[in-house]
Amino acid sequence: MNWLVILNIAVLVAIIGLLIYMQHKHVSFTKRVFTGLGLGIVLGAALQWIYGSGTDTLQQTTEWYNVVGRGYISFLMMIVIPLVMVSIIQSITNLEKTAQLGKMAGWIIGILIGTTMIAAIIGIGAATIFDLNADQISAGQAEQDRVASLEERFSSDIEGVSTPQRILNFIPSNIFLDMTGQRSTSVIAVVIFSIFVGVAVLGLRRKNPEQAETFTKMVNAVYGVVMRIVTLVLRLTPYGILALMANTVASTDFAGILELGKFVLASYLALVVMFIIHLILVGVFGLNPLNYVRKVLPVLSFAFTSRSSAGTIPLNIAAQKNALGVEEGIANMSASFGATMGQNGCAGIYPAMLAVMAAPSVGIDPLSMDFLIPLILVIGFSSFGIAGVGGGATFAALIVLSTMGLPVGLAGLLISIEAFIDMGRTLLNVNGAMVTGTLTSRILGNFNMKIFNDKTAIEEAKTTI
């Protein structure tokens, strides 16, 4: 490790020291998050400008920065499974009737899939307006290698696996395996198992109240410990965002972005339009969209920098419950479901754009109803089981392209801008989950307007963060 790397590490440590100082001075959590975000952008840009993209010094620096950035994501992933499991069990045991559970799950899944289909229409429109075509993308050696890799992955992991089979993967056959997060559907599997446990407790309460009460006390005790761990981890958010943003900007291939500028512009236009539709839905249900945005910005900032819907689950739940006023059970379920199904950015907009681009290469009119209607339906149903981590959009695209009989290699031609676009897609995914929880809570009549209208609640009561 040379002295330049040591100097770069010292700069990061100094900025972390500044953020700690701000915390000691009781600067708000939101301001610290955006300070970390802004300084991360400046630091990343300075690193790339000074050392140049791909240099050994920059590579070593980003590896050390990952100790803070990726380490923070690892801490978040560490608490996802216990948080989801204990929170859902506790939420169900607080229900008066199991019928409430069915309504809750039905609305959440329906809104997630419905908005994903709307996102697909937006993606189709963006690709059409910008006249995107697969022939416009040149393939270098890196792109050719990526295409070969994706085609191999398709033949080994995806080809021959139907949508019903992917849905069956949600059902846990070994809950201990899913607790390790080894499958892309592990979070949903844990949710399903937790629902069974919660419903079983409700049944036990009628037959043996003492046993049910003993179990409930145990769950409440574990819940208290888990939430304390969540509090400790979430306090690290400003530092994690700082390091993640610095690495992202420092490693971004700006030349690739310029070369594929039309696709980047079309993608972000579609993402912005869908985000506006989210806000319109919030407004339709009687809530102030600007107030909503102000309260979710810290969570969306982390989603943007981390590119991990699954890693954002703890922040998502905390913000819904403490800043938006969403009922706890709905917050847990919408955040968990939203990380593995109905992802508006990764499973909606992106596959739709690629399908429209690829269709002419096999002689299909991308604007014919015979193509568009099946495409939108396929995107809706295939959004089940998309992993909420980096690479989930590529998996979703492979499923959609193969189902529609289109060449799957197109997804590999965009490798140079994948990370940059994935940041916006992840932000939209997480916002879609939060909007889903908000709308569901409003529909079921348990939304807390007092919390939503409380300007201080954006700090998540300062006891949570």
Average pLDDT for 233-257:
83
Alpha-carbon distance of 400 to 350, in angstroms, equals 10
The domain that holds 117 is classified in CATH as: 1.10.3860.10
Whether pLDDT at 10 is above 90: yes
Report residue 165 as tokens: 């089979």
Report if pTM > 0.85.
no
Query: Residue 464: inside a domain, yes or no?
Result: no
Whether pLDDT at 401 is above 90: no
Query: Residue 315: inside a domain, yes or no?
Result: yes
Tens digits of residue pLDDT in 299-326: 998 888 888 887 788 889 889 999 999 9
Tens digits of residue pLDDT in 349-373: 999 999 998 888 888 888 899 999 9
Average pLDDT for 455-464:
56
Alpha-carbon distance of 439 to 437, in angstroms, equals 6
pLDDT value at residue 55: 85
- Spatial contact of 426 and 309, defined as CB atoms under 8 Å apart: yes
- Spatial contact of 127 and 352, defined as CB atoms under 8 Å apart: yes
pLDDT value at residue 103: 87
Query: Residue 337: inside a domain, yes or no?
Result: yes
Query: Residue 465: inside a domain, yes or no?
Result: no
Whether pLDDT at 23 is above 80: yes
Most confident of 31-40, 141-150, 156-165: 31-40
Query: Residue 88: inside a domain, yes or no?
Result: yes
Residue the block writes with tokens 């479901």 = 337
Mean of all residue pLDDT scores within the chain: 83
Tens digits of residue pLDDT in 185-234: 777 788 889 889 988 988 888 889 899 899 989 988 998 898 888 888 88
Confidence of residue 421 (pLDDT cuts 50, 70, 90): confident
Structural domain boundaries, residue 191:
3-459
Q: Which of 459, 408, 339, 360 is nearest to 153 (CA)?
A: 408
pLDDT value at residue 30: 77
> C-alpha distances in angstroms, 342 versus 12, 108, 124, 240, 272?
37, 10, 17, 27, 17
Query: Residue 376: inside a domain, yes or no?
Result: yes
Q: Which of 80, 83, 78 is nearest to 219 (CA)?
A: 83
Q: How many domains does the chain have?
A: 1
